[in-house]
Amino acid sequence: MLTVLGFSMVICFMYLIMTRRMSALIALIIVPTLFALAGGYWHGLGDMMLSGVKTLAPTGVMLTFSILYFGLMIDAGLFDPLVRLILKIVRGDPLKVLVGTAILTLLVSLDGDSSTTYMIAIAAFLPLYRRLGMNVLAMTCLVNLASGIMNLSPWGGPTARAAAALRIDALDIFLPMIPAMLLACGTLTGMAVFFGLRERRRLGIMTMESHQMDDISLGQGDADECAANRRPKMFWPNFILTTALLVLLVVGLMPIHILFMLAFAIAVMLNYPSLEQQKARIGAHAANVLAVTSLIFAAGIFTGILSGTGMVDAMAKSLLAVIPHSFGPYLAIFTAVVSLPFTFFMSNDAFYFGILPVIAQTAAGYGISAQEIARASIVGQPFHLLSPLVPSVYLLVGLAKVDIGDHQRFAIKWGILVSMALLAGGVLFGAFPLYHR
């Protein structure tokens, strides 16, 4: 019963947002509530919802102040030199823009934090896409999937969770997966070339002179307002502050939401010292903040009901129960394949700490090591980051100003392709076996 209820709820939710019959914000609240009531979970429903909201509250705080911080840096002109440099390189060629998007995002994603990657990549490239009239969904697709590939680093969440769940070293998971990750990076770059050739045929190559490059504005408001908000004399203080923030994020000196709160407070005092200016800058970005954080807290209701009712556990056990005994030698490749739907429909914590140990214990009876199962389990991560249950995806679509349903409809098939490239690379280069004799 719970299994049917869980899968039906997820399918209904995905159908509603991808067909644009309901906004993601409303669907995240209404759909799980109705399914929980239909399942007879009248008592304790409010506690389940509140638990989910509390769990995602730190993420909501982090996204609130990270949007404000990077919005402030954009207004002050921190990213203008980077955009000018990129423009000089691409010279209005959509192919170069898309390949540059893939390569830059792969490099920025090395910090293992998707939210930071999205903010930097979107700030750098969105003005170019708008100026050239390019498809912004191609950009969000590449940025999303690039982050998913590089998130497999030892300091990234999935690899760390797999290592902790199976009590093995994260480097034992990561190092053999490097060739597979390189293959996935090559696949992503190939996708960028494909998108670029398609956009070049549609738009042609635009010749851009120096004065046209200077007209590109990254800030909120019209050109005059953007110019008034620029703080060219504060470039180096802002650069040092942002660099220090990113370093501290990687080091993990403080919780990420606390770091962004402190960085924002310092940045707004440095760049806009008067109270009126501060209110104006916060107000200018309030719409972006509300659009993202409201979805985060709504997602808390969805995940809270999914976990509190036991639907997640039931869905996992039902899928594991259908594995025939003769399939045992193929458990590594099975783990890689099911990591796509499992991590898409549930949180990484639920998959890595609830399901992976069961699979690993079963696989051990067939001579498949825990390290091999762990490597296979991270194959689905590029696809995972497209899930509506991942908070950072709302930041991505919010910054790019695209609908999450449109983004998923465009990117899902490409997410499966990149994950399949990881799977092929894992088997080809011996990270995990196709079949264990």
Decide if pLDDT at 214 tops 60: no
Could you state, in order of their start, the residue ranges of all structural domains in the chain?
1-213+231-429
For 23, phi and psi rounded to 5 degrees?
Answer: -70, 155
Closest CA to 245 of 2, 92, 371, 69: 69
Question: If pLDDT is split at 50, 70 and 90, which confidence band does 17 have?
Answer: confident
| 3-class SS string, 12-47 | HHHHHHHCCCCCHHHHHHHHHHHHHHHCCCCCCHHH
Asked if 126 contacts 86 with a C-beta cutoff of 8 angstroms, the reply is no
pLDDT in tens, 235-244: 999 999 989 9
Chain-centroid distance of CA 249 in Å reads 17
- Predicted pLDDT of residue 320: 67
The residue-averaged pLDDT of 270-277 equals 93
Highest mean pLDDT (candidates 187-201, 274-288, 385-399): 187-201
Question: If pLDDT is split at 50, 70 and 90, which confidence band does 256 have?
Answer: confident
Decide if pLDDT at 11 tops 90: no
Closest CA to 160 of 389, 368, 306, 356: 356
pLDDT in tens, 352-391: 876 787 788 788 888 889 999 999 999 999 999 999 888 8
Higher pLDDT, 19 or 83: 19
* Distance separating alpha carbons of residues 33 and 28, to the nearest angstrom: 9
Decide if pLDDT at 216 tops 70: no
Asked if 428 contacts 420 with a C-beta cutoff of 8 angstroms, the reply is no
Question: If pLDDT is split at 50, 70 and 90, which confidence band does 178 have?
Answer: very high
Higher pLDDT, 114 or 281: 281
Reported as half-sphere exposure (CB side, CA atoms, 13 A), residue 423 has a value of 21
- Predicted pLDDT of residue 220: 54
Percent residues over pLDDT 70 in the chain? 92
The residue-averaged pLDDT of 292-306 equals 83
Alpha helix positions (H), 285-330: 286-308, 311-321
* Distance separating alpha carbons of residues 99 and 342, to the nearest angstrom: 30
Reported as half-sphere exposure (CB side, CA atoms, 13 A), residue 340 has a value of 17
Asked if 247 contacts 218 with a C-beta cutoff of 8 angstroms, the reply is no
Asked if 348 contacts 158 with a C-beta cutoff of 8 angstroms, the reply is yes
Asked if 23 contacts 17 with a C-beta cutoff of 8 angstroms, the reply is yes
Asked if 431 contacts 380 with a C-beta cutoff of 8 angstroms, the reply is no
Type of residue at 162: A
- Predicted pLDDT of residue 121: 86
Closest CA to 10 of 23, 22, 28: 28
* Distance separating alpha carbons of residues 262 and 31, to the nearest angstrom: 37
Question: If pLDDT is split at 50, 70 and 90, which confidence band does 417 have?
Answer: very high
DSSP 127-170: HHHHHHT--HHHHHHHHHHHHHHHTTSTTSHHHHHHHHHHT--H
DSSP 3-state of 298: helix
- Predicted pLDDT of residue 272: 95
Asked if 271 contacts 76 with a C-beta cutoff of 8 angstroms, the reply is yes
- Predicted pLDDT of residue 21: 86
* Distance separating alpha carbons of residues 35 and 5, to the nearest angstrom: 7
Decide if pLDDT at 219 tops 60: no
For 231, phi and psi rounded to 5 degrees?
Answer: -130, 70
DSSP 90-121: HTT-HHHHHHHHHHHHHHHGGGS-HHHHHHHH
pLDDT in tens, 317-354: 776 677 777 777 888 999 999 899 988 887 787 788 76
Alpha helix positions (H), 252-368: 256-271, 275-284, 286-308, 311-321, 331-345, 348-349, 356-364
Question: If pLDDT is split at 50, 70 and 90, which confidence band does 140 have?
Answer: very high
Question: If pLDDT is split at 50, 70 and 90, which confidence band does 16 have?
Answer: confident
Higher pLDDT, 163 or 112: 163
For 219, phi and psi rounded to 5 degrees?
Answer: -85, 180
* Mean pLDDT taken over the chain: 85
Asked if 215 contacts 128 with a C-beta cutoff of 8 angstroms, the reply is no
* Distance separating alpha carbons of residues 362 and 364, to the nearest angstrom: 5
Residue whose token pair is 């170069």? 96
